[in-house]
Chain A
Amino acid sequence: MTTITDNAIATPRRAVRDEMIALAVMTALLAVVPLTGVYPFFVMQGLCFALLACAFNLLIGYGGLLSFGHAMFLGTAGYVTAHALKVWGLPPELGIVLGTLAAASLGVLTGLVAIRRQGIYFAMITLALSQLLYFVYLQTPFTHGEDGIQGIPQGHLFGFINLANPNTLYYVILAGFLLGFLVIYRAINSPFGEVLKAIRENEPRAVSLGYKTDHYKLLAYILSATLAGFAGSLKVFVAQNASLTDVHWTMSGEIVLMTLVGGLGTIYGPVVGAFVIIAMQQYLAGFGQWVTVIQGVIFVVCVLTFRRGVIGEIAHYFKRSL
């Protein structure tokens, strides 16, 4: 069976050097954003989705598992964080911890069900599970149904960092993004990540070598869910609301699209893809449903002619790993 990713061939040492340079460039670029006059809300939103896409990519790009329900982690963490801040009046750090934990628990529960099947079935199961969650959130009172939870106070992180200040919030979100990004980077380059890649390439062989592949897949799934939840919790401070849109299957589709555009199985692809898609939505907001059509066209074009994605193509051209 052919695999879904097309990795560039690079020697390990060079790969690490390239990736470190790219990390430094990315961090520097993101750090100067507030000085450039670029609308910070847009970049913060982009960072949350970038982390979400990176978490999704950990599963598909390295584990070969296509989740079509990652919005459930985004939405669940968002709802829990929003509820904790607004109704319970908890400080931001506790809100984030609770939201992330909620997503992690959901990851454990859904993971135990979903990893029982592979490939196409895995995608359908995760989609169905997230739809189940969607209907639950539509009916439970604490989410406020169609209205969502609105007007969430941002508060002071650790009691002294004022998140209502856009510049402060920006650096907090950036720090959160980098933390999540480094966790994923570390996971990919660990022995755990190597086993994951082995499972993706040839699961029966990994089994025959004595690896309990289900454990590895479940662990990757939970890690991905947790980080996606972390992104969802951060997003609450940016958007100051939590709504059903974040749990809907269209959101799961957008996460897939971001990663596909940037490059499945590349480290920086999901980040680039997230910003491309968010920017597109921003500029085309006035065109109504044509945005959906354009997203569909991007899906089709990417699958037919551009399967490596932006970063994947660059990495392939320069024979580097990015």
Chain B
Amino acid sequence: MSINLQALFAQLLVGLINGSFYALLSLGLAVIFGMLNIINFAHGALYMMGAFAAYFLLNVLGIGYWWALIIAPLAVGLFGIILERTMLQWIAQLDHLYGLLLTFGLGLIIQGVFQNYFGSSGLPYAIPDELKGGVNLGFMFLPIYRGWVVVFSLVVCLATWYLIERTRLGANLRAATENPTLVRAFGINVPRMITLTYGLGVGLAALAGVLSAPINQVRPLMGADLIIVVFAVVVIGGMGSIMGSIITGFALGIVEGLTKYFYPEASNTVVFVLMVLVLLIKPSGLTGRTA
């Protein structure tokens, strides 16, 4: 079989970009799960809100991509904080499954509202001028924006890892994950930390949404199917480790890209098939604690 390197690298790049989104989203899910013990089913809808926030900023307020990268995650993160304060905090003592059901409902509401006003078709969002065009790397043509998404996502993921694993704030966070009561006794405001953690996870999802807007267009259902793949990523990687989420996310994106090249019919399903294999061989996930 002759291998068309150009096409292969192009699909690998697509895979890396999807991997960036998987990493950002599964990272957010893992951070939220660690503190709140809920799986945030609304994550896909909040990712979509991030993309729409960028769209509104540009088309209503005339604020461009670079500010949107900051404002959209903050705005959607704030929305997440409101959700946590008004609803999620009241079910913290219940079975985890109620959190799943509640956030599933929230996701339906958000998606339904956007679908009502914007239908199901995509809205275009232009690539910012600074990132237009591409460079010829000899073995492939690299559109600058796509390269930027991969590099920037990687930086954000590593920064989040550093924040949680290497700073004092992160240490408090990890301690509160292990034993919230004890950490409260040390005078740390754990409920506020929980709220901010949810805001952080949601902000990461919104950031992924902004990054994805110029590539995938802005659609109300853009997060609906993505979140199910991210769930599979989370099952494969386990939610016990931040670095594990990042690596699994990128790795599965690459695997998906390779599948698109070698056997395109299976590109939709390869992550799920891998999930089945991992469950059969190592049920606790690649990096996870048993749950």
Contacts and interface: CB of A to CB of B under 8 A. Distances in A.
B45 to A, nearest CB: 10
Contacts of B284: 117
Interface in A257-307: 260, 288-293, 295-300, 302-304, 307
A189 interface: no
A304 B91 CA distance: 7
Interface stretch (B15-23, B64-72, B226-234, B248-256): B226-234
B101 A119 contact: no
Nearest to B119: A289
B215 interface: no
Contacts, number: 136
A291 B284 CA distance: 38
B107 A296 contact: yes
B283 A117 contact: yes
B87 interface: yes
B228 A292 contact: no
Contacts of B269: 132, 135-136
Contact of B291 (A114, A118, A302): A118
A310 interface: no
A288 B104 CA distance: 19
Interface in A88-133: 113-114, 116-121, 123-125, 127-129, 131-132
Interface in B77-118: 87, 90-91, 93-98, 100-102, 104-113, 115-116
Given A120-B291, A296-B109, A304-B87, A3 B95 contact: yes
Contact of B100 (A116, A120, A304): A120
A280 to B, nearest CB: 14
Q: How many interface residues does chain A have, given as a range?
A: 35 or more
B291 A117 contact: yes
B280 A113 contact: yes
B273 interface: yes
A166 B198 CA distance: 53
B117 to A, nearest CB: 9
B102 A299 contact: yes
Contact of A293 (B91, B100, B104, B109): B109
A4 interface: yes
B129 interface: no
A114 B101 CA distance: 19
B267 to A, nearest CB: 9
Contact of A288 (B105, B116, B275): B116
B276 interface: yes
B105 A129 contact: no
Contacts of A117: 235, 279, 283-284, 291
A139 interface: yes
B216 interface: no
B43 to A, nearest CB: 12
A124 B39 CA distance: 9
A170 interface: no
Given A116-B279, A131-B228, A296 B101 contact: no
Contacts of A208: none
A216 B111 CA distance: 38
Given A2-B95, A289-B115, A121 B105 contact: no
B265 interface: yes
B268 interface: yes
Contact of A299 (B101, B113, B279): B101
Contacts of B265: 139
B108 A124 contact: no
Interface string B276-289: 10011001100000
A172 to B, nearest CB: 34
A292 B95 contact: no
Given A128-B232, A131-B272, A293 B113 contact: yes
Interface in B108-165: 108-113, 115-116
A307 B98 contact: yes
Interface string B172-183: 000000000000
29 contacts: A4-B95, A4-B97, A4-B98, A117-B235, A117-B279, A117-B284, A118-B291, A120-B97, A124-B235, A125-B275, A125-B279, A128-B232, A131-B225, A131-B272, A132-B272, A135-B268, A135-B269, A249-B228, A253-B108, A256-B104, A260-B101, A290-B116, A293-B109, A293-B116, A295-B112, A298-B105, A303-B98, A303-B102, A304-B102
Given A3-B95, A128-B275, A297-B109, 15 more contacts: A66-B97, A116-B279, A128-B231, A289-B116, A292-B108, A292-B109, A292-B111, A293-B116, A296-B104, A296-B105, A297-B105, A298-B105, A299-B101, A300-B109, A304-B87
